[in-house]
Structure 1
């Protein structure tokens, strides 16, 4: 099931509502964040959403991410729900979401789980990585190995196709004796291993990057300390002052629009409910 243009616009409007609530609490508690990935690209190139996009991503350094996990579940407006493993027991993504209550945006990958399926924004932790190249590579490889096992057990295997489905089936065999909770906790531990060294490392990384070696989402620590408010739709949100270099690293010539056949929404849906 794909979104209609009308529904995609409604989803975008609700996501901006969620992001506004996120920004409100970040201001209140002096938490730094930056719009990320396609959301950052949309802010720079379109002053809002990439027209065909249907999600919002934000990056937060791990120390602030832990602060968010502690504070936001208690302080979000009643219209919203902070989704992590502790607040939604059948949720096992190694990053968190903020959902809008009384909506449904149910993805095929998660349709086999009894969780809050509301419209959401993604909140990604950005982790300290060792300055030593060997140690940082070992951290990345180990994390990716664990994450493959976690996702093979968690994501609805019926929603996968072709080689990805075969790979997931093989991974389930490899990790058959590893409980999903154990894999989740180990991922969290490996990713946050150097959080206490945040002020002494040169670079940080989105360990949940889809890049083959993580280099596209490896950043200078200062990219997350020097921020500015930028227009996004009819509001303003924080973005790294080094957004240009971050986007070049991830997308190359990011001001160039992709071919028309690549201008598609990302999420395959089972159910959607946007009107109360």
Structure 2
């Protein structure tokens, strides 16, 4: 039987929803909060679930709960899912942890990989504080950008990574690799330095927070009131927490007309699957 692209996306969305609900059960039982992030917020607001043509889920965990979250996922996920995290001395090729479908389950279901490690279902990003002063914020951004570029040199030949980078960013990273500026450290050691920077600002006292480890980087920084305590909204057959002022959040990330406009090219991550 041949499955259409829509069938494959729906199959993946169902797996992601199952993993998302499992994560929610574990975090609820342990007093941890997480938010939907990025396009997943868009899906919740516009479609009460997944964006129909997309197969990507992102969540944001406030930094005070972040390390506990990773530990809980490692210890409590069912045998169907697993968490890849560099902080567990694992070569995950990514700073933030990701929830994967176990390989035996993936193969049994005949689903293609979307990552070198297998089938990634959910990206789990920390929700971090940024410096308050303008000067400190400038230095913060410079340090983060440099270390992120250095970390990228280790996966420069990874096709999946290359696809996500703008041409100018790719050229900069390639230059850093040619200059061997990554020769004294491993990728995980660079991630350790980034981790120290990300968690160096006190979350509870900060006026600016965001998922700066995400693809939109500093564009994802907001006044802490935008996130607030969050608001629960329908998401498929369950409820999920999204930023309290989600309209402000979505307008900044996706434009003033996000609620009425749709992209001309509706591209899913399924189209980039590797086998």
In which range does the TM-score fall when normalised by the shorter chain?
A: 0.7 to 0.9
Aligned mates of 1:78, 1:158 — CA distance in 2: 29
Q: Are the aligned partners of 1:204 and 1:218 in contact in 2 as well (CA < 8 Å)? A: yes
Q: Counterpart of 1:64?
A: 65
Structure 1 residue 155: Cα displacement: 4.8
Cα gap change, 1:158 to 1:74, in 2 (>3 Å): closer
Q: Counterpart of 2:205?
A: 200
Q: Counterpart of 1:248?
A: 251
Alignment deviations for residues 59-109 of structure 1 (CA, whole Å, 9 cap, x no partner): 1111111120222211112221121014472213111111122225523xx
SS in 1 for 2:176: helix
SS in 2 for 1:238: strand
Structure 1 residue 6: Cα displacement: 0.9
Aligned mates of 1:25, 1:121 — CA distance in 2: 15
SS in 2 for 1:106: coil
Instruction: Show structure 1 runs of 5+ residues with no match.
Output: 272-276
Q: Are the aligned partners of 1:15 and 1:119 in contact in 2 as well (CA < 8 Å)? A: no
Deviates more, 1:63-72 or 1:81-90: 81-90
Q: Counterpart of 1:53?
A: 54
Cα gap change, 1:10 to 1:155, in 2 (>3 Å): farther
Q: Does 1:106 align with 2:113?
A: yes
Alignment deviations for residues 112-150 of structure 1 (CA, whole Å, 9 cap, x no partner): xxx3x1341011111111111111221122111101111
Residue of structure 1 aligned with 2:197, choices 183, 190, 196? 190
Q: Which has the higher contact order (CA 8 A, sep 6+)?
A: 1
Cα gap change, 1:17 to 1:155, in 2 (>3 Å): farther
Structure 1 residue 247: Cα displacement: 0.8
Aligned mates of 2:42, 2:73 — CA distance in 1: 26
Deviates more, 1:202-211 or 1:6-15: 202-211
Structure-1-length-normalised TM-score: 0.85
Question: How do 1:83-102 and structure 2 match up within 5 A?
Answer: 83-87=84-88, 89-101=90-102, 102=105
Structure 1 residue 199: Cα displacement: 1.9
Alignment deviations for residues 11-51 of structure 1 (CA, whole Å, 9 cap, x no partner): 01100011001111111111111111110001101111111
Q: Counterpart of 1:80?
A: 81
SS in 2 for 1:5: helix
Aligned mates of 1:118, 1:9 — CA distance in 2: 15
Structure 1 residue 165: Cα displacement: 4.8
Q: Are the aligned partners of 1:56 and 1:122 in contact in 2 as well (CA < 8 Å)? A: yes
Indicate the RMSD between aligned Cα atoms, in angstroms.
2.2
Q: Counterpart of 1:269?
A: 273
SS in 1 for 2:26: helix
Q: Counterpart of 2:182?
A: 176
Deviates more, 1:19-28 or 1:164-173: 164-173
Instruction: Show structure 2 runs of 5+ residues with no match.
Output: none
Aligned mates of 2:203, 2:137 — CA distance in 1: 14
SS in 2 for 1:270: coil
Aligned mates of 1:228, 1:205 — CA distance in 2: 17
Aligned mates of 2:130, 2:242 — CA distance in 1: 22
Structure 1 residue 218: Cα displacement: 1.0
